[in-house]
Chains A and B, each alone.
Chain A
Amino acid sequence: MNPEHNFPKRPLAPKALSRFDQWLLKNYPDTWSARTHMVLYYALLFAAAFYAICLVMPDDPRSTSMVGLWVTAGALISGIGLIFWLVYLFRFNVFKRFGTLAPGDRLRNFLVFYLTIFVLTVLVYIPFVTEKQKADATFTDEEVIRDANDVNYCVGLLVKNSFELSIKIDTIILVGSSEEAEQKNAELRARNDGEPRANSTTYAWREQNDYEWRMAEADSVQKIDFNTYVLFTFTKLQHVAPWYSHYNEFSMEPESHSAYDDSRKRLFTTLDLYYLIYRDNPKYSEEEATSRIRKMNAKYRLPMSSWNYVINHNYYGIVEIATDGSNLSEYINRKYDTWSMDHAMKNIMSRKHRFDTENVKSLALFTFYFVLCQVLLLFAFRHSTVKTFFLSILAGIIIAILTGLFLAVTRFHERGILVVLLVYYAVFLAISVTIGMSRVRSLVKGIALNFTFWMTYFIPLIIVGLYYSWMHKLHPYRPDAPEEYDRVFANEDLHYALAQYGGAALLLISIAFLFSRWYRTWYSQPEE
């Protein structure tokens, strides 16, 4: 009679897990039916196996990362796991069996779904972890940067007398709007008969990408007055660098590079190299410099690289350097194989810094929304009829198409889209409120309820977006008063962050006190 003697047969499942499964079944059927405990167990098994495989697979940190393949494999297996879970999930549903529901049950259900899909999603990141571990075990940040500085310095010394160093000087003048920038630039072009000058001037608007890039890419930037900057760009002296982006004190988004900040400060920029090589003009031994480069080359060159073959066998032959240095990079590369070193260093550093704060933030945000969208769909499916759920999806597509057409025809701005979304939400919410008054399970009300549920999280974000959209219209950037602009928008990022937290809180509270009741009332109503 002891029920523990006969557990369902599950591969690799210990008796303790089966015992726990049965305990949940008999005490917490809602949680049991979510099968989160099983997903967690099998996810743990898979994670251990996947981790071990990724760890033992040969992977040279200097080579191009194959993590995409591993992530795809992990995602496919995780997707299969998700499908299995959904199949099991749809077998039992306390809500649709009209079981006894306690207050807060739906909220717990939502959180359990979230946890399950989250676990299945983060499994995919395992290859990133093993890649980082392998790179960390082989190279340190300081080592790579020291080597890059060494290569750039030695190469600079060896070629400094072979060409004439050039310095390009540009001026950027900030104006208040894109229209004004366009107009001023047109005037400039007309004045120069359409030909750019050697030392060019550009009128730029603060929010233009081009402006940001030019500021960031310059080797040196001098601020002349409140809206005028002079940009100095030297012949490229940094031939090997462990990362792609450029950085100087006027970079518009320095925080986005913060992951590299500590080490970046020690990496010689072109300006540093100019000072070290041209200004200080040190004495050096050509033999020693060449030997140091060869040593680095041996350290970072991949043994099987086809490019190495080309270089080592002088496949193309050594080219002569042009006096103006226009083919400097190609010349240096063919002579010293800098591209291989540059490539290897970038590969190493990108592996090592996958989980830096900024990357983790982006990954966390992506994971949060990816999981949230799935849970919103799943929760709605579990609490409405199959027909209503799929008609809700169809209705969503049709509404999106019609709204898009309407906005295109009426030439609505971003604010218009946000206002339309708020109007939709108000309409869906109003329909959902009337569910309790009905004696029949209405398809329209079910669809409206699903939309209300899906949109609730995003409402604070939409409101903040609308607010800042208005504020940008009311307080445009003025080059003569940038502090006013900065003051008004000082807390914009904070407010967007708060809107996300607020959306989550609003959704969870609504599930506990509104959606659980509305879905309960709607689903139990008789059919037409």
Chain B
Amino acid sequence: MSHTALSEIDVFLRHGDHPLAVRRMMDLALDSKQRELMLRAMQLSSRFRIARNANPVNPWNEDLAQESRTLLHELSKATYPAAPGDSLLMQAHGVSKTYSSGAFSMKPTSLDLYAGQILGVVGENGNGKTTLLRCLAGQLAIDSGKISFAGLPDHDFYTLKNRVAFIPQRIPRWYGRLKDNLHFSAAISGVKGEENDLMVGFMLERFGLAGFAELTWNQISSGYRTRFEIARVLLQQPRVLILDEPLANLDIHAQQTLLSDLRFLVKSAVNRMTVLLTSQQLHEVEKAADSVMLIRQGQCIYQTGKTDVRSLGFALELETPATREEIAQALTVLEAQVHFNGGFFTVVSHQHPVQEMIKQLVIAGIPISYCRDISLSTKRLF
């Protein structure tokens, strides 16, 4: 795993993806469990941050390049603990929930959560995503079915909640300085003394919070609050991380950063965990998640590997100034159907793949401002 990571970092550095390379080096340093390497990685990140503040356009200078090469060399010489296998961490079988008001009912739902994997839960508002997440996090009592956590007795909810971290969409307010909250969270999970200092400093740097360490809740934006919350729960080293709409408060860049970070973090050799997240950012979730679950009216209607959407044919999502007639005309030979949802055109063909559709559109001279192959996406089910 470390060899893959090292070569990834090398590629990032060669192609100028410096922020990604630095973050990845930090992850690798954390995996090494070596204090010296972690401090070096933090130092590199800190210097890079300062350089970016001073020169946002071209922050990567020769000193940083030299330092990163040296660190990468040392990371390559370090020994890493063997990554644990992707074992089953949590299992929900036939879980259902009806609120006492009777206003909403979640039908029996089953899912398996494996270490090292991300499960994305998508669906329209008010269809039961948060209910499912809260049931899995042990916050809501279930009516039927069973939720089991590997190695834990059924009734031990305290330990379960110690191992399953839930970050709600509306992050609960915290008090005092950001840094102190992180120290506290680490300490209550047994990370104490010098290790506490090291881990908090590391997480502050890793999640871009170092410049905000002394600030309070009122002094940081909602996007940074999300980052803080993730850093906080990660310090508690949960085995399952459940995030409800974590992308909601983030800008596009921050969304990409978070999702890529999650992908790295679940594979961590130090704390291999599973991530369960919901989002309205369908494509982003599909890109980051190992499997996706679509919930409609409290029922799971799609789950990666269990439901096949190929039978629905090939589908292209398209944004163009051209009219529906012009698009239909261009695709006549492919016998494709053209739908319009008010924002995008969706072109569906049972015979011809998306590449052929695009080819025909280009040949017909249709201007394309955006297109996406959604043949295997849950978006087709919306």
Cβ A8 vs Cβ B141 within 8 A? no
Cβ A526 vs Cβ B196 within 8 A? no
Q: A527–B15 Cα gap in the complex (Å)?
A: 51
> Is B192 located at the chain interface by the 8 A CB criterion?
yes
Cβ B100 vs Cβ A99 within 8 A? no
Cβ A94 vs Cβ B197 within 8 A? no
Q: A33–B184 Cα gap in the complex (Å)?
A: 9
Q: For B194, give the chain A residue with the smallest CB separation.
A: A26
Binds A, one of B113-121, B157-165, B319-327: B157-165
> Is A246 located at the chain interface by the 8 A CB criterion?
no
Which B residues touch A430, using CB under 8 A? Answer: none
Q: A6–B140 Cα gap in the complex (Å)?
A: 41
Cβ B183 vs Cβ A91 within 8 A? no
> Is A436 located at the chain interface by the 8 A CB criterion?
yes
Give min CB distance, B202 to chain A, whole Å.
11
- Once A524-B138, A526-B138 are accepted as A-B contacts, the answer to whether A99 and B183 lie under 8 Å apart by CB is no
> Is A305 located at the chain interface by the 8 A CB criterion?
no
Q: A392–B240 Cα gap in the complex (Å)?
A: 34
Q: Which of B141-192 contact A (CB under 8 A)?
A: 141-142, 155, 157-158, 160-162, 174-177, 179-180, 183-190, 192
Report the contact-size class of chain B (Cβ under 8 Å from the partner). 35 or more
Report the contact-size class of chain A (Cβ under 8 Å from the partner). 20 to 34
Q: For A29, give the chain B residue with the smallest CB separation.
A: B187
B176 touches which one: A8, A26, A97 (CB < 8 A)? A8
Q: For B43, give the chain A residue with the smallest CB separation.
A: A1
Q: Which of A120-167 contact B (CB under 8 A)?
A: none
Q: For A6, give the chain B residue with the smallest CB separation.
A: B214
Give min CB distance, A385 to chain B, whole Å.
12
Which B residues touch A491, using CB under 8 A? Answer: none
Q: For A3, give the chain B residue with the smallest CB separation.
A: B197
Which B residues touch A8, using CB under 8 A? Answer: 176-177, 180
Cβ B157 vs Cβ A100 within 8 A? no
Describe B's contact surface by its main secondary structure: helix
Q: For B191, give the chain A residue with the smallest CB separation.
A: A26
Q: A8–B178 Cα gap in the complex (Å)?
A: 11
Q: A335–B344 Cα gap in the complex (Å)?
A: 110
Q: A388–B138 Cα gap in the complex (Å)?
A: 19
Q: Which of A476-528 contact B (CB under 8 A)?
A: 520-521, 523-528
Cβ B184 vs Cβ A29 within 8 A? yes
Cβ B141 vs Cβ A100 within 8 A? no
Q: Which of A22, A28, A32, A524 has the most CB of B within 10 A?
A: A524
Q: For B154, give the chain A residue with the smallest CB separation.
A: A439
Which B residues touch A27, using CB under 8 A? Answer: 187, 192-193, 196
Which A residues touch B160, using CB under 8 A? Answer: 524
Give min CB distance, A434 to chain B, whole Å.
12
> Is B298 located at the chain interface by the 8 A CB criterion?
no
Q: A3–B193 Cα gap in the complex (Å)?
A: 12
Cβ B157 vs Cβ A525 within 8 A? yes
> Is A40 located at the chain interface by the 8 A CB criterion?
no
Give min CB distance, B155 to chain A, whole Å.
7
Q: For A440, give the chain B residue with the smallest CB separation.
A: B141
Cβ A25 vs Cβ B184 within 8 A? yes
Cβ B197 vs Cβ A99 within 8 A? no
Which B residues touch A3, using CB under 8 A? Answer: 179, 197, 201
B162 touches which one: A92, A98, A436 (CB < 8 A)? A98
Which B residues touch A26, using CB under 8 A? Answer: 183, 186-187, 192-193, 196-197
A/B pair count, beta carbons within 8 Å: 84
Q: For A437, give the chain B residue with the smallest CB separation.
A: B155
> Is B219 located at the chain interface by the 8 A CB criterion?
no
Q: A523–B138 Cα gap in the complex (Å)?
A: 11
Cβ A526 vs Cβ B139 within 8 A? yes
Cβ A100 vs Cβ B190 within 8 A? yes
- Once A33-B184, A527-B139 are accepted as A-B contacts, the answer to whether A1 and B201 lie under 8 Å apart by CB is yes
Q: For B238, give the chain A residue with the smallest CB separation.
A: A98
Q: A22–B236 Cα gap in the complex (Å)?
A: 19
Q: Mark A374-417, 1 if CB is under 8 A from B, else 0.
A: 00000000000000000000000000000000000000000000
Q: For A101, give the chain B residue with the smallest CB separation.
A: B158
Q: A440–B100 Cα gap in the complex (Å)?
A: 14
Q: A22–B140 Cα gap in the complex (Å)?
A: 36
A99 touches which one: B141, B162, B193 (CB < 8 A)? B162
> Is B258 located at the chain interface by the 8 A CB criterion?
no
Q: A8–B185 Cα gap in the complex (Å)?
A: 18
Q: A440–B155 Cα gap in the complex (Å)?
A: 10
Which A residues touch B179, using CB under 8 A? Answer: 3
Q: Which of B138, B162, B187, B192 has the most CB of A within 10 A?
A: B187
Q: A3–B197 Cα gap in the complex (Å)?
A: 8
Cβ A92 vs Cβ B139 within 8 A? no
> Is B21 located at the chain interface by the 8 A CB criterion?
no
A100 touches which one: B139, B162, B184, B196 (CB < 8 A)? B162
Which A residues touch B201, using CB under 8 A? Answer: 1, 3
Cβ B100 vs Cβ A528 within 8 A? yes
> Is B42 located at the chain interface by the 8 A CB criterion?
yes
Give min CB distance, B184 to chain A, whole Å.
5
Q: A25–B180 Cα gap in the complex (Å)?
A: 8
The 8 closest A-B pairs by CB, nearest first: A99-B188, A524-B158, A524-B157, A29-B187, A91-B175, A526-B141, A26-B196, A440-B141
25 inter-chain pairs at a CB distance below 8 angstroms, sorted by A residue, are A1-B46, A8-B180, A25-B180, A25-B183, A26-B186, A26-B187, A27-B192, A27-B193, A91-B176, A92-B184, A97-B188, A98-B158, A99-B162, A99-B188, A100-B162, A100-B190, A521-B157, A524-B138, A524-B161, A525-B141, A525-B157, A526-B135, A526-B140, A526-B142, A527-B141
* Other contacts beyond A25-B187, A524-B158, A527-B140: 15, CB < 8 A: A1-B42, A3-B201, A22-B183, A25-B183, A26-B192, A26-B196, A26-B197, A27-B187, A91-B175, A99-B188, A100-B188, A441-B141, A521-B155, A524-B160, A527-B141
